[in-house]
Each structure stands twice: as C-alpha cells, then as structure tokens.
Amino acid sequence: MYKLFFHLFFKRMDPEAAHHLAFAWIRLAARVPVLRTFAAAVLAPRFRELRTEALGLRMHGPFGLAAGFDKNAVGIDGMAMLGFDHVEIGTVTARPQPGNPKKRLFRLVADRALINRMGFNNEGSAAVAARLAARREVFRTTVGVNIGKTKVVPEAEAVADYVTSTERLAAHADYLVVNVSSPNTPGLRNLQATESLRPLLTAVRDAADRTVTDRRVPLLVKIAPDLADEDVDAVADLAVELGLDGIIATNTTIRREGLASPADLASETGGLSGAPLGDRSLEVLRRLYARVGDRITLVGVGGIETAEDAWQRILAGATLVQGYSALVYEGPFYARAIHKGLAARLAASPYASLAEAVGAGHRNRKDTPA
C-alpha cells in the first residue's frame, strides 16, 4: 500500500517538501493519545529476544534512526512510535544555520538512494538543548545527539565550536556523536585525520565529563565510507587509545560508481546514501571489528534496507544498526519488518542471543578450514 502511495504521491513531490509533510504527519499522530497507541502497537511490536545492551544503555532492540531525519529534536516520540529503538537527532551545530541553498535533496529511485547537500541546516545547539530539556517523553527510547561544525567557523576553531555544542547538549543526550564525515560542510572531513581528530575528541570528552557529573555520557565518532583502509585502521586505533565508546560506520559517500539513475541526477553534488552504500559500509564495519573487536561498540549504518542487511551488519560486528534512506522507500512498516526479520533470523541461527551473534561472521571465517 505504501509503495503505491509513494509512486502516486510522494514521488511527484519535491523530496524536501515530501520529507517535511511526512514528518509533520508522524508528529501529529504522536500527539493524539489513542492514535499513537494504536500506531505503536502495529508498527513497533516488541521482541524480547532482540533486547539490546549497548553503550551502557538498555534498548528494546538494536535498530535505530540515523541522524539527519530529525535535525532539531522535534519528532522523537513520533519516530519511536514507528518502531525505532533509538533516535539519533541532528546534526546540530553550535550556531543556527539555514544550510545550503535549495534544491538540496534528490531521490535516485532507480537506485533506491538519496543525494543530499543539506549542509547541517538546524536551529543551533541552544535551541535544540532547550527543546530536549522541555521534552516529556511519551515513548521510552534512547536519544543520541549528533553534533557537527558550524559552516562559518574556521577549521582552526572547530574544537571550540564542538565544545560549545557539547556543553549545551551533553546533559540531554543518552549518547553523543561527533560528526566529522559529512561531505557538505567544507573542510569537515579533514577533521577525520588522526592529528586533528585526537584533540577534538579529547576536548569533547572533557567537556562532556565537566558538564555532566552524575553519569558518563557515551561518546562516538561517525566516519565516512570514503576513508582509505589505512585511515579506517588509524581511526580505530585512536578510538581504542582514547577510550571512545563507539564508532558509527558510515556516513554518506561522494562516490557515484555503478548507479542506474540518469547521469544528470546521479552527478548532483552531495552525499549519496541508500542501497548503493551498502557494500562499502559493510566493508568498513568488518575492517573496524577486525581491528577493535568488542572493545568498543560499533554501529552499522548505510544501505540497510532489509532485515538481512541488518543481520549481516550484526554478524560483521555491529551491536547497533541504523537506517534512514530506506524509510523513504519502505514507509512506516520499515522498522517493523526489520524487527520481525531479525527475530526470525536469530531463532533460526545457532546463537542464543543477539549479543552472541555480534561479530560471529569473523569467528566463523577464522574457524573455517582453508
């Protein structure tokens, strides 16, 4: 039913306008008590066997909403109503900014993908912090906060910019993510180099600990799929060295190989997400787990459309998985399908729990005779 609706209605709309309309409907439904209860019962069934502990947090399951959908923390309960086990809001910058000029979001329907050059459009960390502080949750869910660099701030002042957002937002975050991997803020990806990343992560960690004294706020970094393998290894080693809590792999890509969409559409500048990202995202995840094992939490994101995609990420070493682009194409039953499929795969597997399945693909390959 949704796919027919998508082709008859949403497909004909400007992608950004369609996003705002759909998100408004989700938020409206979450404000109506009877409607949200019914919707959650249908869209967010709970499977006891999928309960997950990660980053010192307990979650209904491993599947969450990636950053980018709810930039300003306006629809957390709506997304929990749709079945997401955690909701990562943002990316939030220290100063409010409008983002890049429109048109800046493109659907590649033939590839089940999106290209965006949104440019961290958001209301700024002060406004988002105030909204989170005032929030009265309807559905219990884990809330991650993803922070990035304000566009007008020079790279030399990036650390102070991230620290400002950390001081405002850490108290309201179940976990905090440093985003240094969007291709849409000039110079941002330069911060993934370990000589830049080390002082940045150290400063954010110190700011979070200084601001929130009654608990440890887990800190993660989100990396790009376009990093060379040796740079992936360097980030992994740095994360272990600094005692980072996790790595999110991966953000969008600037690569365009193998796309079926028309060349004029596929060549739009920005970050590509969705199905074409899946193989590289999985490669990076496997490489990270081979490097760090279970010493830190890995979050798999990029090209996760089906329960099988999510299951492969778990076997590759992801404790948590996230989706976003597939929600555009799969609609409101997306999270439900992931959960049902994961529960079925776990039941058919030799693993007693989801935690036991994390990284099992590596162990099986090692145990297989050459």
Q: Which residues are annotated as a binding site for FMN?
A: 67-71, 91, 146, 179, 222, 250, 274, 303, 324-325
Active-site position among 125, 165, 182, 273: 182
Which residue ranges make up the annotated binding site for substrate? 71, 116-120, 179, 184, 251-252
What is d(CA 161, CA 131) in angstroms, rounded to the nearest whole number? 20
Write the DSSP symbol of residue 79: H
What is d(CA 278, CA 250) in angstroms, rounded to the nearest whole number? 9
**CA dihedral for 63, 66, 72, 75, sign (positive or negative):** negative
What is d(CA 315, CA 310) in angstroms, rounded to the nearest whole number? 9
Which residue ranges make up the annotated binding site? 67-71, 91, 116-120, 146, 179, 184, 222, 250-252, 274, 303, 324-325
CB-neighbour burial class of residue 286 (10 A; exposed 0-12, middle 13-18, buried 19+): buried
Structure tokens given for 104: 């800046």
- Omega cis (within 30) before 166: no
Is-catalytic flag, 182?
A: yes
**CA 328 from chain center: how many Å?**
15
What is d(CA 188, CA 180) in angstroms, rounded to the nearest whole number? 6
Q: Where are the alpha helices (DSSP H) in the chain?
A: 2-8, 15-30, 33-43, 76-81, 125-134, 158-169, 194-211, 229-242, 263-266, 278-292, 307-316, 325-330, 334-348, 354-357, 360-367
Longest dimension (CA), the chain: 59
Q: Which residues carry out catalysis?
A: 182
